[in-house]
């Protein structure tokens, strides 16, 4: 009997993770889902096969991450895909340190720990894919300083792991999904270039199956990302402040 394809998803409570989980399950992939709050997965688990595994982890607790990965790894018999989709984004015009601290804890420390441990397990089994849902926001700084910086960190961290996979001649793919905004924000009154969740998830899985190392979802965000990089500071900065001024009272 051929072993079933398996995937572990960090950040399973996010709407995007849930859509990815549904699409993977439809393709017959057995899932291990990780979330700090398993109760929030109630509706999702009803839609997934009975052999889906759940593991509670707060990514701030780095010791917990190792235990969670090991437990799922053992029960699934290894993982073909580990997808890290955790993230925190916050902004307040008074720039309290606590926001930066929280974002760094989740997006940098927790993220790195999850990727590092997953890479270690993949290295031991000598196959598989590590993928992270990252953001085009990492190409430049922004008003949510720690958030933008954390996304640049994520890209560079993944690139480093990819270099080690190549150096060690491991059959491991490391994928950096450069996500633009999707229809989650439509409810907040933004309409620019947003794609529905199923389309976003489908493009992510298509890119991962092709073994792409770094790719944009949806594809047109490559253009935005390139434009961000090329814009001179005096235009880029003005654009950012205008946007934040508009939301100032809501923050």
Ligand X SMILES: NC(=O)c1ccc[n+]([C@@H]2O[C@H](COP(=O)([O-])OP(=O)(O)OC[C@H]3O[C@@H](n4cnc5c(N)ncnc54)[C@H](OP(=O)(O)O)[C@@H]3O)[C@@H](O)[C@H]2O)c1
> Phi first, then psi: what are they for 53, rounded to 5°?
-105, 145
Rounded distance between C-alpha atoms, residue 49 and residue 23, angstroms: 12
Closest to ligand X by CB, 17 vs 173, is 17
Residues 53-82, mask of contacts with ligand X (x by CB under 6 A): -----xxx----------------------
Residue of 6, 55, 86, 173 that binds ligand X (CB under 6 A): 86
Closest to ligand X by CB, 129 vs 218, is 218
Closest to ligand X by CB, 58 vs 237, is 58
Count CB neighbours of 9 within 10 A. 26
Rounded distance between C-alpha atoms, residue 121 and residue 181, angstroms: 31
Told to check if 11 binds ligand X by CB under 6 A, we report yes
- Count of residues touching ligand X (by CB under 6 A): 26
Residue of 68, 79, 99, 106 that binds ligand X (CB under 6 A): 106
Told to check if 13 binds ligand X by CB under 6 A, we report yes
Spatial neighbors of 178 by CB under 8 A, at least 6 apart, are 134, 135, 136, 138, 155, 214, 215, 216, 217, 221, 222, 225
Q: Both tokens of residue 2?
A: 């051929």
Contacting positions for ligand X (CB under 6 A): 11, 13-17, 35-37, 40, 58-60, 85-89, 106, 133, 135, 179, 181-182, 184-185
């Amino acid at each position: 009997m051929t072993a079933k394809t398996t995937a572990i998803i960090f950040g399973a409570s996010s709407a995007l993770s849930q859509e990815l989980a549904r699409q993977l399950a439809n393709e017959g992939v057995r899932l291990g889902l990780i979330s700090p709050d398993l109760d929030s997965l109630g509706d999702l688990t009803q839609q997934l096969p009975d052999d889906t595994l759940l593991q509670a982890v707060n990514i701030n607790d780095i010791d917990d991450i190792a235990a969670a990965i090991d437990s799922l790894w053992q029960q699934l018999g290894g993982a073909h895909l580990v997808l890290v989709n955790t993230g925190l984004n916050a902004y307040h015009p008074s720039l309290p340190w606590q926001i930066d601290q929280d974002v760094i804890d989740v997006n940098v420390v927790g993220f790195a720990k999850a990727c590092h441990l997953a890479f270690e397990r993949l290295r031991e089994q000598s196959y598989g894919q590590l993928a992270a849902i990252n953001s085009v926001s990492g190409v430049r700084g922004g008003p949510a300083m720690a958030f933008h910086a954390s996304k640049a960190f994520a890209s560079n961290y993944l690139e480093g792991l990819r270099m080690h996979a190549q150096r060690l001649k491991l059959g491991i793919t490391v994928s950096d999904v450069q996500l633009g905004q999707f229809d989650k924000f439509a409810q907040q009154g933004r309409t620019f270039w947003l794609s529905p969740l199923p389309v976003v998830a489908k493009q992510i899985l298509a890119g991962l199956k092709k073994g792409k190392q770094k790719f944009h979802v949806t594809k047109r965000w490559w253009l935005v990302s390139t434009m961000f990089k090329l814009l001179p500071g005096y235009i880029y900065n003005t654009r950012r402040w205008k946007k934040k001024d508009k939301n100032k009272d809501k923050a």
